[in-house]
Amino acid sequence: MPDDAIVLPEALHGIFFPFRWDKLALWALPTTVSVVALAELDWHLDLPVWSTQPPQPLFNLRPREVLACPNHHLDHWDRILAADTIYPLDLFHYNGRWVIMDGYHRLAKHAAFDMKWVNIRKHPDELFVEIQLN
């Protein structure tokens, strides 16, 4: 296994992306912004995509846990509060569903403040090669 490989917990196997990507390249993709109901993305809040010890990639904290007890996870809570929801969440189709690649703190802010609609970009499969690092 390469030194920079992502080791995902069982709860994320087949759901979350098992490779690293270039965030700046992702943001630069030309995909059009659309809007979806928060309810369509709510299931992402139950995925352990964050770390209790950032920047270590532990994948042991669910956004919903932070929303339930913000005082126990102040670093993530601060990032949620600072998140700018004008920017879209970036999604790719992965194993039969649209999965958020970037924007979990923005999604959590939508949930925390009961915002019903979310700006998103659903990137076409052929753009995977534009952002993958390994």
Place 1 in a pLDDT band, splitting at 50, 70 and 90: very low
For residue 3, is it within any domain?
no
For residue 8, is it within any domain?
no
Confirm if 86 and 106 have CB atoms less than 8 A apart: no
For residue 62, is it within any domain?
yes
Place 2 in a pLDDT band, splitting at 50, 70 and 90: very low
**Burial letters for 100-116: b for 16+ Cβ neighbours within 10 Å, e otherwise?**
bbbbbbbbbbbbbeeee
CATH number at residue 23: 3.90.1530
Give me the number of domains the chain comprises. 1
The predicted-structure confidence for 67-102, as pLDDT tens digits, reads as follows: 999 999 999 999 999 999 999 999 999 999 999 999
For residue 12, is it within any domain?
no
The predicted-structure confidence for 17-55, as pLDDT tens digits, reads as follows: 888 899 999 999 999 999 999 999 999 999 999 999 988
Assign 121 to helix, strand or coil: strand
For residue 39, is it within any domain?
yes
For residue 114, is it within any domain?
yes
Average pLDDT over residues 111-130: 97
